[in-house]
């Protein structure tokens, strides 16, 4: 069963809104809102970011600035996207265990790349 992004947001709202209202009734609006803000942490602060302003925090920019170059970074991205797409299409015709395995393998590949990026590439401004 596939659930659209809009439906997911509606379900989340159906769960979160009553929870926040109950907290507000029990603890007061200011205290409840402070707890929700703290619980959501980076996600909540991310909504306040000026997303339209240029920055260099993405892995792509970090790879380019670290000397990998635009061409090589783009080629690596294309290869990863093509490989993951082809493996996902292949996995669609396999049983669920194989599908989960493919997902875990790709998750591990991307997580490993993120860890290497955090350790060895030039840090983002403000890091």
Q: Which residues contact 114 (CB under 8 A, 6 or more apart)?
A: 59
* 66/33 same-domain check: no
Name which of 22, 21, 20, 55 is nearest 39 in CA terms: 20
Let me know if residue 68 belongs to a domain. yes
Looking at residue 46, its pLDDT comes to 65
* 31/81 same-domain check: no
The percent of residues above 70 in pLDDT, for the chain, comes to 83
Structure tokens at 23: 């907290």
What's the mean pLDDT in 88-114?
93
* 28/64 same-domain check: no
Structure tokens at 127: 């890091």
Domain range for 12: 5-47
Least confident window among 14-23, 45-54, 74-83: 45-54
Instruction: Tell me how many domains the chain contains.
Output: 2
Q: Is 84 exposed, middle or buried (0-12, 13-18, 19+ CB in 10 A)?
A: middle
Residue 58 in this model has a pLDDT that exceeds 80 = no
Let me know if residue 54 belongs to a domain. no
* 67/22 same-domain check: no
Looking at residue 84, its pLDDT comes to 95
Residue 53 to residue 40: CA distance in whole angstroms: 23
* 42/72 same-domain check: no
């Amino acid at each position: 069963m596939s659930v659209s992004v809009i439906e997911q947001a509606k379900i989340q709202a159906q769960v979160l809104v009553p929870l926040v209202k109950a907290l507000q009734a029990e603890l007061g609006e200011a205290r409840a809102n402070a707890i929700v803000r703290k619980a959501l942490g980076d996600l909540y602060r991310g909504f306040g970011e000026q997303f339209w302003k240029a920055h260099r925090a993405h892995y792509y920019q970090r790879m380019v600035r670290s000397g990998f170059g635009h061409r090589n970074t783009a080629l690596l991205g294309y290869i990863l996207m093509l490989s993951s797409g082809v493996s996902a299409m292949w996995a669609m015709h396999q049983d669920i265990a194989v599908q989960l395995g493919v997902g875990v393998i790709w998750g591990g590949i991307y997580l490993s790349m993120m860890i290497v990026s955090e350790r060895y590439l030039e840090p983002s401004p403000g890091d």
